[in-house]
C-alpha cells in the first residue's frame, strides 16, 4: 500500500462520508471554511490558501472539518435548522407539511422559554421552566385522553385504544376520535410532553390554543428536545441518530431518546 493510500485509510471516515454524508454538516463546514479563509486572506494570503485546501480535503475525507460538528447540539441541528434544508419533522402528526411562520428557536428565545447555555454553544430551558413543565406532564399522565380531546376538539378521544385499531408504528402513539384516526405522536411520552408544555407555556404567557394548529405543532415539537428528563420514567435524554425502516423506505433520522427506557420523544428526518 502506498503512503498516499495509507494516509487515505487513516483519515477516511466512512461513517461520515459517502452514503452517510450529512448534508447540513457538510454545508455548515464548507461555510465555516469559506468564512475562515476569507478572514485569513486579509492578513495572510498564503496561510489562507493552505487553510482552504486542508479544510476542503478534511471535509471530503472525514465528512467534517470542525471536530464535534457531527455531535448534535440543540443549537445547531434542531428541526428549525433542518427545515432550511427542506426537511420536515417526521412522525409528529399526519398533518400536511408545515408551512407556517413560527420559527420555534426565535419564538422560544423571544418569549424567554429557552436561553443560551453559559458556553453559548447550546440552548436550554430558562431556570424554573422544567419544574413547571414536568409538574404539568405528571398531570397530563393522569388525564391524557381528556386533555388531548380538548386540544384537538374531539368528541370521543382515545389514545392507543388497542383491539382492532393498532398504532401506526410500533412504539408510536395514535389518537382516535371514536374509530377515526386523527393524529400520531412518536410515543405516548411525546404526547404527554406536549400536553404538559401547553400548560407550562400558558404560565409563561404563551397561549398555544390561540395559535394556528400547524404553528402550535411545530412549536411543541421544537420545544420537546428541551425536555430535561424522560416524560415517562424521569431518565436522562440524549440527542442521537438512527436509521428508521418502514415498508417502502429507509430514512436517517435525528432522535431525542430516553437513555434509560429508550422512549423516543422526538424524531426528525435527516436525509
Ligand atoms: Zn424513559
The residue segments making up the domain with residue 54 are: 3-62
Q: Is residue 71 part of a domain?
A: no
| Rounded distance from Cα 141 to ligand 1 centre (Å) | 14
For residues 115 and 14, membership in a common domain is answered with no
| Rounded distance from Cα 271 to ligand 1 centre (Å) | 26
What pLDDT, on a 0 to 100 scale, did the predictor assign at position 92?
41
Which residues sit with Cβ closer than 5 angstroms to ligand 1, an ion? Answer: 230, 232-233, 235, 258, 260-261, 263
User: How many domains does one find in the chain?
Assistant: 2
Domain finish residue from 16, 32, 62: 62
| Rounded distance from Cα 111 to ligand 1 centre (Å) | 28
Q: Is residue 68 part of a domain?
A: no
For residues 28 and 92, membership in a common domain is answered with no
Place of cell 430558562: 126
| Rounded distance from Cα 31 to ligand 1 centre (Å) | 37
Q: Is residue 69 part of a domain?
A: no
* 59 in Cβ contact with 65 (< 8 Å): yes
For residues 23 and 133, membership in a common domain is answered with no
| Rounded distance from Cα 184 to ligand 1 centre (Å) | 19
Where does residue 160 rank: exposed (0-12), middle (13-18), buried (19+ CB within 10 A)?
middle
| Rounded distance from Cα 258 to ligand 1 centre (Å) | 5
**Which pTM was predicted?**
0.64
For residues 130 and 195, membership in a common domain is answered with yes
For residues 217 and 126, membership in a common domain is answered with yes
Q: Is residue 176 part of a domain?
A: yes
* C-alpha Rg value of the chain to the nearest Å: 21
| Rounded distance from Cα 172 to ligand 1 centre (Å) | 14
| Rounded distance from Cα 233 to ligand 1 centre (Å) | 4
Q: What string of pLDDT tens digits covers the 271 residues of the chain?
A: 677 777 677 667 666 666 666 676 777 788 888 888 888 888 888 888 888 888 888 877 776 666 555 555 565 554 554 554 444 444 444 333 445 567 888 899 999 999 998 988 888 999 999 999 999 999 999 999 999 999 888 999 999 877 665 555 667 888 889 888 888 888 999 999 999 999 999 999 999 988 888 788 888 988 999 999 999 999 999 988 888 765 555 677 788 899 999 999 988 776 5
Q: Is residue 231 part of a domain?
A: yes
Q: Is residue 74 part of a domain?
A: no
266 CB contacts (<8 Å, ≥6 apart)?
A: 79, 89, 186, 190, 221, 224, 225, 255, 256
For residues 145 and 179, membership in a common domain is answered with yes
Q: Is residue 138 part of a domain?
A: yes
Amino acid at each position: 500500500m502506498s503512503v498516499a493510500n495509507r494516509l487515505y485509510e487513516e483519515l477516511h471516515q466512512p461513517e461520515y462520508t459517502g452514503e452517510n454524508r450529512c448534508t447540513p454538516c457538510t454545508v455548515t463546514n464548507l461555510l465555516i471554511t469559506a468564512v475562515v479563509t476569507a478572514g485569513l486572506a486579509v492578513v495572510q494570503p498564503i496561510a489562507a490558501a493552505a487553510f482552504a485546501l486542508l479544510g476542503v480535503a478534511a471535509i471530503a475525507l472525514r465528512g467534517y472539518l470542525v471536530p464535534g460538528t457531527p455531535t448534535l447540539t440543540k443549537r445547531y441541528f434542531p428541526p428549525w435548522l433542518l427545515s432550511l434544508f427542506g426537511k420536515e419533522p417526521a412522525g409528529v402528526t399526519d398533518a400536511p407539511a408545515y408551512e407556517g411562520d413560527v420559527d420555534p428557536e426565535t419564538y422560544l428565545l423571544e418569549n424567554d422559554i429557552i436561553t443560551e447555555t453559559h458556553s453559548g454553544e447550546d440552548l436550554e430551558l430558562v431556570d424554573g421552566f422544567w419544574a413547571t413543565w414536568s409538574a404539568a406532564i405528571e398531570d397530563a399522565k393522569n388525564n391524557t385522553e381528556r386533555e388531548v380531546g380538548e386540544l384537538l376538539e374531539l368528541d370521543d378521544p382515545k389514545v392507543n385504544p388497542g383491539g382492532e385499531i393498532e398504532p401506526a408504528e410500533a412504539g408510536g402513539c395514535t389518537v382516535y376520535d371514536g374509530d377515526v384516526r386523527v393524529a400520531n405522536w412518536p410515543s405516548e411520552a411525546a404526547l404527554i410532553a406536549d400536553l404538559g408544555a401547553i400548560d407550562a407555556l400558558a404560565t409563561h404567557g404563551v397561549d398555544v390554543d390561540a395559535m394556528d394548529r400547524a404553528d402550535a405543532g411545530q412549536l411543541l415539537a421544537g420545544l420537546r428536545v428541551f425536555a430535561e428528563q424522560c416524560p415517562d420514567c424521569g431518565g436522562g435524554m440524549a440527542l442521537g441518530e438512527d436509521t428508521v425502516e418502514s415498508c417502502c423506505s429507509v430514512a436517517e433520522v435525528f432522535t431525542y431518546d430516553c437513555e434509560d427506557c429508550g422512549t423516543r420523544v422526538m424524531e426528525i428526518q435527516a436525509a
